[in-house]
Amino acid sequence: MDNQATTIETLFERAQDYTRTTVELTKLTVIDKSADVLSSMLSRLTVIIVAAMFALLINMGLSIWIGELLGKTYYGYFVVGSAYFILAILINSFKDQWIKLPVNSFIIAKMLKKS
């Protein structure tokens, strides 16, 4: 009987070790996937910020140039601002298709990627 109790205790200890190992492996996998997603998002965000700064300077120059062509500098800003207003309406109309779905797909692909 004592031998059977020892065998059950050993089996119980192995089950506990297996459970701890599985939990630890799951934690490390989640950390790895999260780090991969966040680093990818951060690198894309950096590129977007640089592109936005470039676009800002180009738009300022374009506004001044259009304003000079129209006779008043602020007219150029009205023209470029109106173009961005139309673009904002267009993006808002298609935001799920152009932004939400690609971002969701990107995150899911990164999370499910095999290491």
Residues 43-85 have pLDDT tens digits of 999 999 999 999 999 999 999 999 999 999 999 999 999 999 9
What per-residue confidence (pLDDT) applies to 73? Answer: 92
81-115 tens-digit pLDDT: 999 999 999 999 998 898 888 888 888 888 787 76
Structure tokens at 64: 């001044």
pLDDT digits (tens, 9 = 90+) for 32-44: 888 888 998 899 9
Predicted TM-score (pTM) of the model is: 0.65
Length of the chain: 115
